[in-house]
Chain A
Amino acid sequence: DGGITQSPKYLFRKEGQNVTLSCEQNLNHDAMYWYRQDPGQGLRLIYYSQIVNDFQKGDIAEGYSVSREKKESFPLTVTSAQKNPTAFYLCASSYQGQNYGYTFGSGTRLTVV
């Protein structure tokens, strides 16, 4: 079955370390997105990519980096510059065009220890 896979489900990081969250989709979607969700909060867009080798900053890109070398993959790196990285991270993908909704992964819960 087609879908979008995020790994790991839970991740612990020491302060000062970079960590990479994986997102893979086999839906043949062109666009991919990363969102951050804090407790009791909505979703805030970190980065998005509409095509391979291209990506744009969202509303809260500082302290994060991404790459899009393959259509299927859109990894997110949380760098040590991100001051408050503990959060729930959701990856999504979609076809191009505003009439398509997103398919979401099951999320990665990152905790800084």
Chain B
Amino acid sequence: AQKVTQAQTEISVVEKEDVTLDCVYETRDTTYYLFWYKQPPSGELVFLIRRNSFDEQNEISGRYSWNFQKSTSSFNFTITASQVVDSAVYFCAPGGGGYNKLIFGAGTRLAVHP
């Protein structure tokens, strides 16, 4: 069965600190996609990134970066120089468990304090 583990339930940092959110997944699929979503206090999940299993290059988008390591089944997310607006719940979601079904982890709640 597909499974995703976000071991950090809550993280609290002070503004401008760097923070890494961990994601470890299990899949039997040889090709698959991985996603990260952000859920701000308003409740709607916002798409952050999509990565396919063929591409292990790290990706950077502004203050956000992602480290995908297929050998360890991990897809970690780093926020550099965190800001208060980064406070949210972040979900890792591998594609699997059936056609077009994303499997969501329990989420990591990030609190960035001024």
Residues of A within 8 A of B (CB): 31, 35, 40-43, 45, 48, 50, 88, 90, 92, 94, 96-107, 109
Contact = CB atoms under 8 A, between A and B. Distances in A.
A43 B43 CA distance: 12
Of listed B44, B47, B100, residue having the most chain A CB within 10 A? B100
B107 to A, nearest CB: 5
B45 A104 contact: yes
B41 to A, nearest CB: 11
Given A42-B91, A99-B52, A107 B106 contact: no
16 contacts: A35-B104, A42-B106, A45-B101, A50-B99, A50-B100, A88-B43, A90-B44, A97-B100, A98-B32, A98-B100, A101-B47, A102-B45, A104-B37, A104-B46, A106-B43, A107-B44
Contacts of A99: 33, 50, 52, 95
Interface of B is mostly: loop
A91 to B, nearest CB: 10
Interface residues of B, number: 25
Given A97-B100, A102-B45, A105-B44, 16 more contacts: A31-B100, A41-B107, A96-B100, A98-B32, A99-B33, A99-B50, A99-B95, A100-B100, A101-B37, A102-B47, A103-B47, A104-B37, A104-B44, A106-B44, A107-B43, A107-B44
Contacts of B100: 31, 50, 94, 96-98, 100
B19 interface: no
Given A50-B100, A98-B33, A42 B52 contact: no
B106 A90 contact: no
A42 B99 contact: no
A107 B37 CA distance: 15
